[in-house]
Chain A
Amino acid sequence: MILSGRNILFRLILTDKLLISILRVGAMLAALVVLLILIFLVYESWPALSSLSITRFINDVSWHPLENTYNLMPMLSGTVLTSSGALLLAIPLSLASALFIVFYAPLHLATAYKRLIELLSGIPSVVFGFWGLTTLVPLINQWNPPGASLLAGILVLTMMILPTVTLTAYTALAAVPDELLRNAAALGLSRWGVTNGVALPAAKTGIAAGIILAAARALGETMAVLMVAGNVVQYPETLFDPVRTLAANIALETAYAMGDHRAVLFVSGLLLMLLIMVLSGLVELLEQQRHA
C-alpha cells in the first residue's frame, strides 16, 4: 500500500472500502437534499392543500388572501405569458446570433461577439431588472403608461435568456461534423441551404435542449420581473398591462404572509417547481435521444 508522503498534514490510512463509504455518504446527502426540499414544500403547503380544495385555486374570484380568495390562475397566466413572450423573442435572435458566430461572421467579429455574449450570460438578474426599472420602464411609460407592464417583463426576460440559448445553440452547431458541411457545400448548396438543410437539423436536439432549459429559467425568474412588471394580479388585456408572476408573488408576499396565505404561497412554489421539473424531464429525454 502506498501511503501519502510529505505533502499532506497528517497520514491518512484510507482503505478503498473506507473511501467508498465516505463517498457514498456524500452522494446520499446530495440525493437527500432534493427529498428534503420536496418534503418541506409539501409540509408547509399542507394546511392549504388539506383545507382548500384544488378548484379554489382555479375558480376563486380573485387573488386577495386577506379576503380569503386564492385564485392562482391570473398569476399563472402572468408567468406563462412573460416566459412565452420572452422565448418568442429570444429564440430567433439567439439562433441568428449563433449562426452568425459559427457561419456568417469573420473570425475576429465572431470571437468578439461571442465574448460579449459570454460576458452577458454572467450578469445577475437584479442588474437587468435595475436597468429595466431605470431606463426601460420610463421609456415604455412615455409610449403608454404605466410603463411597468407585461412588455417590460418580456423584454427583460428576453435579455436574460438570450445569452444562454445563444451559447447552447453555438455549442450544438459547432459540434456538427465538418464533413457534413463540406459534403453539402460540395453538392452545390448555397450557404443558407447548408445552414437550413444540414447544420440546423443536425444540431436540432442540442438547440431544443437549450431552449427548454432557457424556458425553465424564464419560468422561475423572480427578481427582474418583480422589478419591472407592475405586480398587479390580473389577466393582462394588452401588452402594456401590468402582471404578476407566481415567482414574483412569492417574493413579494412571503415575509408578510401567515397561516393559510403562507401555505398557499408554498403551494404556488410547488406548482412552479412541478412545471419546471416537467420541462427538465423533457430535456433528459432529448439528451438520451441524442446519445442513442
Chain B
Amino acid sequence: MHKTTNIPMRQILRDRAVQFLIYVSVIMVSVVFIWILIDLARGGVAHLSWEFLMESPRDAGRAGGIASILVSTLLILLVAMLTAAPIAWTTAILLVEFVAIDSAFGKTVRFSLHVLAGVPSIVFGLFGNAFFSIYLGLGFSILSGGLTLACMLLPILASTAEAGLRAVPYAYRLSASALGLTRTATLIHLILPAAAPVLAAGLLLGIGRALAETAALLFTSGYADRMPDSLLDSGRALALHIFDLSMNVPGGDAPAYASTLVLVSLLLCINVLAMKFAHGLHRRKIMT
C-alpha cells in the first residue's frame, strides 16, 4: 500500500503562476507582432499594384513605383554575393578540409570572422565610405555598396558553409581516399555536392540579411532613385527607400507601407526556401 504523494499547495500555486506568466508573455508578444503585421498590410495593400513594381518613382517616391529601386537592389545584391561567396566558401573549405583545428592560421582566420560578425552595420558603412567610396574612388555607387555588403556577409556565408561541410559524413572522405581520389576530386565530386543544399541555404540567408541592410548603404551606394546605368552609378536599395519615404517625404507613408510589404514578402520567400534547403541537411544527417 502506498500513499499518494501530497504535493504542497505552495508548489501547485507556483507552477500555476509560472504557467500563467508564460502564457501572458506569449500572448503579449503575439499581439504586438500580429498588430505590426496587420498595420503593414492595411497601410500598404491599397498602394500595391503591378504598376508599382514596374514604374520608377516620381515626385520623390510619392507617385510611381519602385522599379528602379528593385533593379538597384538586385545589382547591389549581385555584386555582394559574387564577391563574398567565393571568398567565404574557399575559407570554409580550407578551415574544414585542410587545416588542423588548432593551427595558428586556422585560429586567426576563425577569430577574424568572429570579429567581423560582431561589427555593427553602421561601422561597415563608415568603413565602406572611407575605403571604397573615397580611397578607391568609387564614389556613391552600386559597386561601393555591394562591396561593403560583401564584407558584412563574409561571416554568415563562411559559418554556414563550414557547418554544411562538417555535416558531410566523414565516411565519404575515407572511402574516397581508399579509392585513390585526390583531395581535389573528392572535394569537387563528393563533398561539395553533398553540402550544396546547406551552402545554398547559407546563400539565401545572406541574401536575406543583405536585403534588410540599410545603415551600411547610407553612405556607400547613395540615394539616387533613377534606373542605374552602370555599376558605378548611385542606386537606392529597397530598405533605404523605405527609410527615405518614412523619414523624409511628407505623404510618403502609403508607398512606404507598400514597399515594406514587397520587402517582407521577398524575405518570407527567401526564408522558406532557405529552410527547405537546410532541412535536406537534417534528413541526410539522420539517414547516414
Enumerate A9-56 residues with CB–CB distance to B below 8 Å. Answer: 14-16, 19-20, 22-31, 33-37, 40-41, 43-44
Determine the chain A residues whose CB is within 8 A of the CB of B15 once the complex forms.
190-192
Taking a contact as CB atoms under 8 Å apart, the answer to whether A122 and B212 are in contact is: yes
B82 interface residue (CB < 8 Å to A): no
User: What is the minimal beta-carbon distance from A129 to any residue of chain B, in angstroms?
Assistant: 8
The residue in chain B whose Cβ has the minimal distance to the Cβ of A105 is B26
Is B32 a contact of A216 with CB atoms below 8 Å?
no
Q: Among B28, B98, B214, point to the contact of A124 (Cβ < 8 A).
A: B214
Residue of A nearest to B180 (CB): A2
B228 to chain A, nearest CB (A): 20
Q: Is A118 an interface residue (CB 8 A)?
A: yes
B22 within 8 A of A: yes
With A24-B94, A104-B19 in contact, is A276–B120 under 8 Å at CB?
yes
Neighbouring A residues of B130 by C-beta, 8 Å: 40-41, 43-44, 266
Q: Which of B105, B183, B215 lies in contact with A19, CB distance below 8 A? A: B183
Stretch among B55-63, B111-119, B167-175 lining the A interface: B111-119
Smallest CB separation, A44 vs chain B (Å): 5
How many Å from the CB of A151 to the closest CB on chain B?
Answer: 15
Contact B126 A250 (CB under 8 A): yes
Are the C-beta atoms of A23 and B215 separated by less than 8 Å? no
Do B126 and A265 have beta carbons less than 8 Å apart? yes
- Chain B hits for A25, CB < 8 A: 90
Q: Is the CB of B115 within 8 A of A1?
A: no
CB pair A159 B32 closer than 8 Å: yes
Residues 236-278 of B contacting A (Cβ, < 8 Å): 239, 242-243, 246-247, 253, 256-257, 260, 263-264, 267-268, 270-271
Tell me if B18 counts as interface (CB < 8 A to partner A): yes
Are B253 and A134 in contact, CB atoms less than 8 angstroms apart? yes
Q: Which chain B positions have C-beta within 8 A of A118?
A: 271
A220 partner, pick from B19, B43, B121, B267, beta carbons under 8 A: B121
In the complex, A235 has a CB within 8 A of chain B: no
Segment from B70-78, B184-192, B280-288 that makes contact with A = B184-192
Q: How far is the CB of A209 from chain B (nearest CB, A)?
A: 12
> Is A104's CB under 8 angstroms from B123's CB?
no
> Contact at B243–A223, with CB atoms within 8 Å?
yes
- The answer to whether the Cβ of B142 comes within 8 Å of any Cβ in the partner chain is no
Q: Which residues of B contact A33 (CB under 8 A)?
A: 112, 116, 151, 154
Q: Which of A89-131 contact B (CB under 8 A)?
A: 92-93, 96-97, 99-100, 104-105, 113, 116, 118-120, 122-131
Query: In the bound complex, how far is the Cα of B264 from the Cα of A127, in angstroms?
Result: 9
Task: Find the residue from B14, B181, B243 having the highest chain A CB count within 10 A.
Answer: B243
Hey, which chain A residues are within 8 Å of B135, CB to CB? 40
Query: Does the CB pair A126–B29 fall under 8 Å?
Result: no
Does A177 interact with chain B (Cβ within 8 Å)? no
Q: Which of A116, A125, A219, A223 has the most CB of B within 10 A?
A: A223
Q: Is the CB of A100 within 8 A of B121?
A: no
Decide: A30 and B219 in contact? CB cutoff 8 A.
Answer: no
Which of B94, B113, B219 counts the most chain A CB atoms within 10 A? Answer: B94
Cβ distance B226 to chain A, nearest Cβ, rounded Å: 19
Contact stretch, chosen from A65-73, A178-186, A277-285: A277-285
Q: Are B271 and A96 in contact (CB under 8 A)?
A: no
Interface string of B128-160 (1 = CB under 8 A from A): 011100010000000000000001001000100
Residues of A within 8 A of B (CB): 1-2, 4, 14-16, 19-20, 22-31, 33-37, 40-41, 43-44, 92-93, 96-97, 99-100, 104-105, 113, 116, 118-120, 122-131, 133-135, 159, 162, 188, 190-193, 195, 216, 219-223, 227, 247, 250-251, 254-255, 265-266, 269, 272-273, 276-277, 279-280, 284
Given A19-B183, A97-B26, A276-B120; 18 other pairs, CB 8 A cutoff = A15-B184, A19-B187, A23-B93, A26-B90, A30-B88, A34-B115, A37-B123, A37-B127, A96-B21, A97-B29, A127-B242, A130-B242, A130-B243, A130-B246, A159-B36, A188-B5, A266-B126, A269-B122
Listed A/B pairs (14) with beta-carbon separation below 8 Å: A27-B90, A30-B113, A37-B127, A40-B135, A120-B33, A124-B211, A124-B239, A126-B214, A127-B40, A134-B246, A134-B253, A190-B12, A192-B19, A250-B125
